[in-house]
Amino acid sequence: MAKALEGVRVLDFSRNYAGPLCTRILAEFGADVIKIEIPQGGDGLRNLSPQTEGLESYPFVILNRGKRSITLNLNSEEGRRICKQLVNISDVLVENFTPGVMENLGLGYEQLKKDNPGLLYVSISGFGHTGPYRTRVAYDTIIQAMGGMISVNGQPDSPPIKVGVGIADFLGGLFPVIAVLAALQYRSKTNKGQFIDISMQDCIWAITAIQFLGHYVTTGQEPPKLGNSQIEVTPFSIYPAKDGYIVIAIVTVGQWERLLRIMGREDLKNVPEYGTQLTRIKHAELMDSIVTEWTREKTVDEIIKQLQAEDLPCAPIPAFSQVANDPQLASRNMNVYVEQTISGKVRVPGSVFKMSETPGDPTQPAPFLGQHNAEVYSELLGYDQETIGKLQLEGVI
């Protein structure tokens, strides 16, 4: 199968979650991603739990599939010289150090573009390279807070609650992929590289503001924490049933009228205040109480059968174990196995990129530390085994 990014070489200096997700997606599309790690220990993600039976970090395997790993000591002069050689024959560089770290090593964009003007230099950080917070160290929950997400998350009377998954890290990995693809297209027409400055705070604010900025601007008030409800549509929430919970999501007028018929509440159909979302949202608590009164008297299965018969959006709340074995996900190959050199077969999520000509390939293994030193240094820089061995003894690689 053809690879959309075949022939694109990526130097990956990133660690942990955001940067490795970015480069893993590029690798899925066929880019040659060379993960550059410190000789002692490598990416800190290698040491996180849970671990496979072969004592490899599960998150590391998931986020670093399809890459080649080399070691290189950037604190040594020789290491930096070798790094510049690799940069000069690469298309993309990805790093997620605090701003200033790469510049202090002589490896910032302005320093490297002189010898490789077509370089796409991606820098992912908590707050970006400009502004008063630029030098702050940041991790996911910090960014969820500073991007406004925690302020609108949780129940109205709950203390601050973060989103369960590391959404700031992962958006900080997804947005730069889009930027790289756009920059590659631009370079194909102009031969110009560019600096791509991704702030994780920007990413969280950008999606949080879609739903909540309008409320703040138009009312001058803090957006409310709505729990499982939505700020713009109702009834649209998680409701209690006799034996569990169910998601019901009503958006259109037709859906609202069909729901009223199912609940035996057609007396509400011609009430002007409830006719459209624009007016109904002003009575969200009442709408939720009406739906709850109905759902409490039925089981989840009974509700789903009735709603699906009328083509109304709904879903149960499955446990993680149920989702991990969901037949819909299985039918779309969203659970696959990679053959790890150390751990053998490891189950990982499949590729979301179902494309007729250039689909994503999620089945390549993650490398062990320095696995491709000999391969990369000989193939790309022409080093012989004696030179590679000498660099290892000197602690350069």
Active site residues: 169
Closest CA to 360 of 10, 30, 11: 30
C-alpha span between 242 and 297 (Å, rounded): 6
Neighbouring CB atoms inside 10 A of 77's CB total 11
The pair of three-digit structure tokens given for residue 12, joined into one six-digit string: 């990956």
Closest Cα to residue 48, out of 37, 30, 33, 61? 61
324: tokens are 């991990």
Q: Cis omega (within 30 of 0) on the bond before 156?
A: no
